[in-house]
Amino acid sequence: KAKSQFIANATHEFKTPIFSIKGYIETLKDGAINDSNVNNIFLNKIYNQSKRLEKLFSNLINISKIELNELDIKFEKVLLNEIMIVLSETFSESANNKGLNLFIPNTKDMIVLGNKELLQTCFINLVDNAIKYSKKGTISISIKNLNQYIQIKIIDNGIGISEKYHNQIFERFFRVEDSRSRNLGGAGLGLSIVKHILLAHKSKILLSSALNHGSTFSFNLKKT
Ligand code: ADP
């Protein structure tokens, strides 16, 4: 049952960009290619939809590879501050444009054991969501030095998640309210990727949230 549900969801997600690309190409073939008012606009739309397809595809492949243990993950010493800098470069502007405060700590020389690329994806997905699902307030990253671990929290005062969805939101394609996040462009894969990446790091993502009271996603990473 889970397998057919997965196929139904995947088909649905792939259908929109494929039909959209096909539609624009047909319109171009029917003459719009010679209309300088629209031809570049349509080409750009085709390009954007193909990028969306590519992202969907690579996200799904990565989830499956981690699940099947096929991803050759190289563990290395990861300087957390390098990830913090990427987060700041990636999100400062979008948070600012929405009137949100984004607090990213200086983690100095804190080092964890992991795969930098994958851990970066993990942080990016969580901060991206925190911004997407907040209309006001602050998004902050809290980093705490524990005995053998570094504890990480991504905290927002956004729209929050009702407790009844807390287990499901980490499933592939799951969105709390279909229309709400569809408008924001998500495919419901971000948290599933986070869950799988952390599993590959022998860690677990935890959620504490209530509807209209913000969300905190937390996880531990092993120190070297
Ligand atoms: P999406 O691409 O839809 O954002 P995700 O897998 O990243 O997919 O998240 C799944 C769902 O969990 C989202 O559709 C959203 O409803 C909910 N969600 C995730 N992060 C947050 C957050 N920080 N605040 C409120 N809701 C969230």
Rounded-to-integer distance, Cα 202 and Cα 81, Å: 21
Instruction: Tell me the residue type at 109.
Output: D
Q: How many helices (H) and strands (E) does the chain have?
A: 6, 7
What is the mean predicted confidence (pLDDT) over 179-204? 85
Give the residue with greater pLDDT, 76 vs 187. Answer: 76
Determine if ligand 1 sits within 6 Å of the CB of residue 188: yes
The pTM score is: 0.90
Tell me, in angstroms, the distance from the centre of ligand 1 to residue 207's CA. Answer: 12
Tell me, in angstroms, the distance from the centre of ligand 1 to residue 146's CA. Answer: 28
Nearest partner of 138 among 177, 91, 193, 190, judged by Cα: 91
Nearest partner of 81 among 150, 156, 149, 155, judged by Cα: 150
Q: What pLDDT does residue 183 have?
A: 65
pLDDT band at 182 (very low <50, low <70, confident <90, very high): low
Q: What pLDDT does residue 185 have?
A: 61
Instruction: Report pLDDT digits (tens) over 43-74.
Output: 999 999 999 999 999 889 988 888 888 888 99
Rounded-to-integer distance, Cα 104 and Cα 88, Å: 7
- Express the helix, strand and coil content of the chain in percent, nearest 5 each: 50, 20, 30
Determine if ligand 1 sits within 6 Å of the CB of residue 130: yes
pLDDT band at 117 (very low <50, low <70, confident <90, very high): very high
Nearest partner of 103 among 88, 89, 93, judged by Cα: 88
Determine if ligand 1 sits within 6 Å of the CB of residue 155: no
